[in-house]
Amino acid sequence: MAPVTLSPPLLLLAILLLSTAGTTQCHHGHKSQRHQTGGTRMPKKTAAAGASSHPADTVHHAICHTTPHPVSCLTAVASHLAAAAAGAKMVEASAVSVQLLPTNVLSVLLASLRGAELALSSLSPALSALSAPPAASPAGGSLRRGAAQDCQELHAATLSSLSRSASLLAAPGEGLPAVRAHLAAALTNKATCLDGLAGASGPRIGGLLSSLDDAYEHVSNSLALVAGRGAVSAAGFVNAVAKTVHNQRLLQDDDDDDDSGGDDDSDNDGDDNGGNTGQPAATVITVAKDGTGNFRTVGEAVAAAPNNSETRTVIHVKAGTYEENVEVPPYKTNVALVGEGRDTTVITGSRSAAADWTTFRTATFGVSGEGFLARDITFRNTAGAGKGQAVALRVNADLAALYRCGVEAHQDALYAHSFRQFYRECAVSGTVDVVFGDAAAVLQGCALLARAPLPGQSVVLTAQGRADANEDTGIALHHCTVSTASAGLPAGTRVFLGRPWGAYARAVVMDSYLGQIVDREGWLEWPGAEPGRGDTVYFGEYGNDGPGADTEGRVDWAGVRQMEYDEAAQFAVENFIYGDEWLGATSFPYDDDV
């Protein structure tokens, strides 16, 4: 039999798997910084001491001390370095691979990723037990609706992102931005799970929370090792995108005079990558309430879409109001939702925090499947201003784009949860934290519409959740307009551009029209935040006009700045979400620069 030759990605994964077969993941005790459990971390310290006692480990020791959690890094190096180093040398020696990181850094990174994967995998049974009957659940019966499901689904997503990150590092020319996006999303997944578990109690909940903290230290370290290193390889990234979106023009306008649209005056009309010649035909599913389509509900159509598809599935939703909560799970990839106008095709729900749902699970429409597109449709949550968090649209999927869509709610209307996202000519209306989350999200040519909040409340347009300074995330408003919704605002209502949900929150407003409603202070503090958060955030304004654009009275925080072009350009589509490499395949227009 002829010898079998493995490609570099497969060979690297094989080395990692074989070297860790039969390994038992040890629990390293509980932290006391966030979750008081009284445990110790001595096993980690012992492993770290052993790892640093040999002169040959000096370089790896130094690399680990550049990470946020050196002890966890050294523990991973002590356990997994041999396999990781072999994989790194294989990548370096490959004639087809682009060397993205120095070999020693890559070795430590792969060891850290393996440490994260094993530590988190060991927690799978405990997280699964959250949905057990109250007597068997670590949290007893104290969980909010959806909390167990949130943690389990996000845990699976994190494990997938860790595996994907290792594969991307081994693949030819894939580039580091995708790795950073996956690792930042993993950290956001943890934060979301903990949000859902807030207030939970039970005999084992403290240990679970502390173990999550320990495991995610490896994720934070991995992100630190790739932060700010290297640029995307254009050819490699195009190849990766081609696998997911197949460069199809399936959503090209049949009629550019759609009354829900805006002006197609962008620098890129989505046609640079050519037509769909030679590409597989899309699957088209029709939804109609009157029974004239394939299905009567959007949820049924999503369920019927092929799993893990590399070709586009177009779900055409005919005019009507569809009352349902819909989830596009991770295995429903490359789904395109096409309505008949955002004023005529509406998906609506009413879940809210007041009904004891987690914020994540309140979404009327939730997206976890990579490569999701939507156009000419509205997502609505009708819970009302008095019901607390009530999300209309949640997106936690990479390479997602929406065009001429509506997002309508009150508090927490658009949950840009994680990964890279783009919104063009959409109308987003709400009250408190209208656009929030920890994605790298660009809203371009969109209308942000302030609705009437509860008495005494202010309207806040953005609440960005970046909690790790190494994350490539933030909210960028570009060529947008800020004004009131049709019903107007009560006299004296203050409207702010944003507030810092995370300690390193980033939000920028560029080349936009800011109406009279924008408060002269511009930015609002997060209630109960640690002192000095205004110094660690990044809130920027550039080239705006309108009566609300005067920056004379803005808050005096170190993190608030009037940007020059070079700063603003970092948040352009081409630089912030690498849009030139994937948006052309969507047929949606976009401006790639500021």
Ramachandran angles phi, psi of 236, nearest 5°: -65, -40
How far apart CA 425 and CA 404 sit, in angstroms, is: 5
Q: Token match 């990479």: residue?
A: 398
Q: From CA 139, how far away is CA 510, in angstroms rounded?
A: 45
Evaluate whether 390 touches 355 at the Cβ level (below 8 Å).
Answer: no
Q: How many CA atoms lie within 13 A of 469 on its CB side?
A: 7
Q: Give the Cα separation of 42 and 498 in Å (integer).
A: 42
Q: Name the residue among 437, 397, 406, 454 with its Cα closest to residue 582.
A: 397
The amino acid at residue 127 is L
CA atoms within 13 A on the CB side of 177: 23
* Catalytic residue status for 253: no
Calpha distance 101→83 (Å, rounded)? 17
Cβ–Cβ under 8 Å, residues 372 and 395 = yes
Q: What are phi and psi of 22, to 5 degrees?
A: 80, 0
Name the nearest CA neighbour of 248 among 206, 287, 289, 279: 279
592 included as an active-site residue: no
Tell me, rounded to whole angstroms, the distance of Cα 591 from its chain centroid: 22
Q: Dihedrals φ, ψ of 534, to 5°?
A: -65, -15
In the chain, the largest separation of any two C-alpha atoms, in whole Å, equals 82
Which of 150, 376, 433, 468 is catalytic? The answer is 433
Quickly list H helices, 176-297: 177-197, 205-226, 234-245
Instruction: List the one residue out of 521, 515, 427, 509 whose CA is nearest residue 474.
Output: 509
Residue partners of 427: CB distance under 8 A and separation at least 6: 342, 405, 406, 407, 446, 447, 449
CA distance 433 to 500: 10
Of 412, 370, 371, 376, nearest to 394 by C-alpha is 412
- Own/partner contacts of 290-295, CB < 8 Å, gap of 24 or more, are 290/320, 292/318, 293/318
**Cα separations in angstroms, 422 against 256, 343, 451, 588:** 20, 21, 23, 10
Question: How many alpha carbons fall within 13 Å on the CB side of residue 209?
Answer: 24
Q: Report the SS3 class of residue 337.
A: strand
User: CA-CA distance, 554 to 567, in Å (whole number)?
Assistant: 19
Helix %, strand %, coil % of the chain (to 5)? 35, 20, 50
Phi and psi for 287 in degrees, rounded to 5?
-115, 130
Question: Is the separation of the CB atoms in 60 and 77 below 8 Å?
Answer: yes
Among the options 150, 412, 438, 591, which is catalytic? 412
Beta bridge partners of 437: 464
User: Which residues carry out catalysis?
Assistant: 412, 433
